[in-house]
Amino acid sequence: MALAQKLAQFNKQQEKLQASLAKTAPRPQPAAKAGPSSRKPPTPPPPTTQLVPFAQRYSFTNDTEKLQQIATIRKSPVGAQIKRVLDLLLETRQAMLPDEINDACFVDVKNHKEVFESLKSNVKVSFDGQRFAFKAKHDLKGKAELLVLIRKVPEGLPMSDLKDSYTGVTTDIQELKASGQVWVLMNSDTQDDIIYPNDPRISVKVDDDLKQLVRGIEMPREFMDVERELQKAGMKPATNTARREAMAGVPRSQLPKPKQKKRRESKRTKYTNAHLPELFQNIPMP
């Protein structure tokens, strides 16, 4: 705040000084009268220079905001600064010197020992002694290498392990899925997509009699029938369709409310000070 006030006072002083210099500048004197033969064309007056305020010539607003942002970043926790560097390395995919990182995201890796050591030991960062670079779990260059890796892991690869391999890997996975080369299924526990290979070399030929037998099995049309079959097989269904439908058909206002337990009064509260009746002899009772 004090810096801004001093800057405003300095700007006003500069404007006053330039205005006074413009007023005290020597004015051009009119030429002496001469005969008709010695007349010269009048000299045009020099163009007047427009006074540009000092604050407009050298704007300190952006520099002040930049310094404030740098101070905020360098005062932030170490984890926040490391994340800022990781985002930069992931976005650029380039090996960068500490000074280059400082210029790009204002994190002083060189002079902040804790940030420097944390980046060196980070599993997502590779350090060659001079430069830092992002290190993905799987070093892939394109769709061809991605498909080779997926086929090497028949038990499936999590999407979280592949999404930072290279730029556009998510799009390539969707294209492989659309072409039938991979399967993408969600893990119900981790809620993460798992990519499985669909190897075209594995081709199973099924007889027509077996196909007709499978297609001739009558499947339950209602989900409650599926639950009954699961119960007959000794398995507990994860859903209860009958209960859900019964609750859906009854308004919320008519649903039975849970019974509240009655609050019991403590006997100690009722008979407090009962052993000292003389304390209440002189108190008028209503």
Paired residues of 157 in beta bridges: 195
pLDDT in tens, 75-114: 999 999 999 999 999 889 899 999 999 989 999 999 999 9
Whats the size of the chain, residue-wise? 286
pLDDT in tens, 224-260: 888 888 888 888 888 887 777 777 665 545 656 666 6
pLDDT of residue 244: 75
- The amino acid at residue 10 is F
pTM for the full predicted model = 0.47
CB contact at 8 A, 13 and 20: no
pLDDT of residue 89: 92
Report the relative pairing of strands 132-134 and 157-158 from DSSP bridges.
unpaired
CA atoms within 13 A on the CB side of 141: 0
Return the DSSP state at 96.
Answer: B
d(CA 242, CA 244): 5
What is the architecture, at CATH level 2, of domain 143-197? Answer: Orthogonal Bundle (1.10)
d(CA 67, CA 5): 17
Mean per-residue pLDDT of the chain: 78
pLDDT in tens, 4-30: 676 677 677 767 766 665 655 455 555
